[in-house]
Structure formats: structure tokens, C-alpha cells
Amino acid sequence: MRYLILKITCISLLFAGISANMDLLADSDVTFSTNFESGAAADLKVRQDGSIEFSIPPDPGGDQYLWFYFQVISKKKEPHRFILKNATGAHQTGKRWNITKPIFSADGEKWVRAQKVQYARQVSISDMSIAKVFRFQSPIIAETLYVAYSYPYTNTDLRDYLGTICIDQSVEITKFGSTEEERPIPLLQIDSPREKKIWIIGREHPGETPLSFVCEGMIQALLDSPAGWKLRQSYGFSIVPILNVDGVENGYYYHNTGGVNLARDWEEFSSQEVQSLHSAMLHDIENGRLKLIVNLHSSNDPSKGHFFLRIPENKLSADNALLQKRIFEVAGNYHPQIQGRSPVTLYDLPGITGNALNEKYGVYCLYLESNYSRGADGTIPDPQSWHAVGEALVKALAEVLLSE
């Protein structure tokens, strides 16, 4: 009886535009690889209908997953179609898949977003189950095709970028510690001898790649723009573009190699990365030099653009509550994709970077969540617009901090 019901359901769902899971091909002329920096995917297979099915592997130590990045080599002369079969369990997704448009490249440098996407039910005949899957199609045809959740930004990309700015006399590039896998954690300092300091932290969560382009935009604005120059007359900057170096290297989404969420490790300090960062910041904190921390993250909320996380005012000092309010008020004036006046309250959970540093030291942490897929004005972000968001944030900081 169960088989009969499933069979009838399968037929009706097919007519409703919902696909049945066909048998997978054991052999094909398609090959796959994740054997490169930040590569991540599992169970890559070609189905009988020619589409490519895959899943996202979980991180060490947690069930959060979202990041995928893989290579397809094929002589197929039509666009590849893809099915992400464990989309339902991905981190903070659900309806967010409806705005998600993965990206494609023939050379790993020039990327194009998918246009055809669908988050819908699929019936599996082999195990008699129904589940939602995420379907998307490549807009380009190439013998070698790279596929990613969003624009990749690897440790190599960061090294290449730092190489373009290292000749600036106001810039010092060094390291402040090592990861669990003994990789150095880079530190960029701009005009560090200034009396007051601002720290910028990125990639606590390694799969949140848009923030790296925002970070580049901030750095470039600090070095080149009038607002950046004015800020640097009063503030030195210590910038950690990628804290979770191992996670970026290994294609993780939310954790480090030891399975630790670095964004929630600021009470236990169980990771080498957060231990090292805390030690590096402590001198500025204890000397009263640290004015502000900018903590960059990324999200995929369909109802927002790039938005801020708000620490409740009753948990902040009066000065920091006013600082937070003023930044939220002015930031949206500098870029239409920033949703400055509608912040989301930061989770009141132990060990979160901003909560822990505020409670222990009275240091304010400004959170910006750059959106993978949607700006506040409805436009679709890309590396150029994320760069512009970084520049806008520098302008907002200059307006607020220099008027105090």
C-alpha cells in the first residue's frame, strides 16, 4: 500500500513540476574535483537525466553547512544542471534558497551567477522518500567548469591582494599567531602608532566570502580615500582579513579544523586562533587605546540587504550606545545596498565576540552582515559592490568618529 501511495504521489508531483529522483549513472564522461583551495562538495554523481547531483559536507564538530565549491570537467555541449540534495538541512536557509544564485566560471577568475534556480520537492524512488532539493543551472558552457555557492575568496587571494599594497609606507604586514594546522594568521597594520586603535576582524566563519571583498574595500578606502585619510590622522588600524585560515583552506563553512566556532570562542578560548587574537588585542585594550572593533560577517537574508547586528543599548555604556546608534543612522546614506536603520539584535549567547568583549572590557564591537545575494535596494551584490560597501563603511565611521 505504501508503494502504491508513493507511486501515485510521485506521478502527481511530477505533473505539479516536482521531479522524481531517477537512478544514477555508474559511468559517465564527466569528472569532478574538490582538490583545490576552499574546495568542498560530496557525493558528486551524474543522474540518468544528465543532471549532476551532490551534497555539501558538514564541518568538523558541527552540523552547520552551506559552502560548496567544485570543478566539473566534461565535453558536454549544453549547460549543466545541478541538484543539491541536502539543501533542507543547510544553515539558515529554507526560503533563502529562493534568492540564492550560485556562480560559475570557466577559468576560476571570471564568474557568472546562475539565472535558473528552484527550491522544490523531489521524490526518491530508491528509498521511497520525499525531500526538498535545490536545483540550478549553469549559464555558461565550458569543458572545465567551476561551481561555487558564492564568489570564492581564498588565502591565496588575500596574499595576492596584500602584495599589491605592501609597498605603501603606512602599511605593515606581519602575523600574530598560528592556526590549529600551524598556518600563520596574517595581520595588516595601517598607521599603528596612533594613540587610538580600531581592529577589523574577518572570516571567523570561513565560508562567509562576501565579507572579504568588503574588507578589501575598507582597506582600499583607508589608504586612498579622503575619508580614510582623515580617519588615519586619529586612528591606527589593525586588520585580520582571515582569522579562520585553516577553514578557508579546507573549504569549511562555520568552524575551524578543531570543530570550534571562532565567533563563539571568546569565553573558553579553546582555539589557537582566538587565543592568539585575544593576546594580540590585549595590549590595546589594557592601555585604553582600543576604540572600536569592526566584525565582518555574511548572511543570506531575503528580507534585508547588508545589515548590522545590534547589541542591546542596556548592555552598552552610554557612549557606546550612542556610537552604535549614530553608525546605524548614517551608514545607509553612503550605499543603497546597506540597510542601516533596520539592525537585527545580536544573539545573547555566551562566548560571542561582541558580547564577551563588551562585558569583560567595555569594548564595542560593530557587526556588519554583508548579504550573499541581495542588497537593501533589491540589487544583486558582486565583488565590486561589496568593495563599495567597504568604502561606504569607512565614510560612515569617519563621519561619526571625527564628529565626537
pLDDT in tens, 280-326: 999 999 999 999 999 999 999 888 899 999 999 999 999 999 999 99
369 belongs to the catalytic site: yes
Task: Return the SS3 of 188.
Answer: strand
CATH number of 155-401: 3.40.630.10
The CATH T-level fold of domain 2-148 is Immunoglobulin-like (2.60.40)
CA 45 to chain centre: 27
Q: Is the pTM of this model over 0.75?
A: yes
Q: Where are the alpha helices (DSSP H) in 78-232?
A: 155-165, 210-224, 226-232
Please report the pLDDT score of residue 1 as a whole number. 40
Report the C-alpha gap between 262 and 269 in whole angstroms: 9
Cβ 386 vs Cβ 218: under 8 Å: no
Is residue 4 over pLDDT 70?
no
pLDDT band at 39 (very low <50, low <70, confident <90, very high): very high
Compute the average pLDDT of residues 178-204.
95
**What local confidence, expressed as pLDDT, does residue 11 receive?**
28
The ranges assigned to domains in the chain are 2-148, 155-401
Pick from 245, 239, 250: nearest CA to 187: 239
Q: Is the pLDDT of residue 101 over 90?
A: yes
Q: Which of 180, 208, 273, 369 is catalytic?
A: 369
Strand 81-84's sheet: what is its strand order?
19-21, 117-124, 129-137, 81-84, 52-55, 42-46
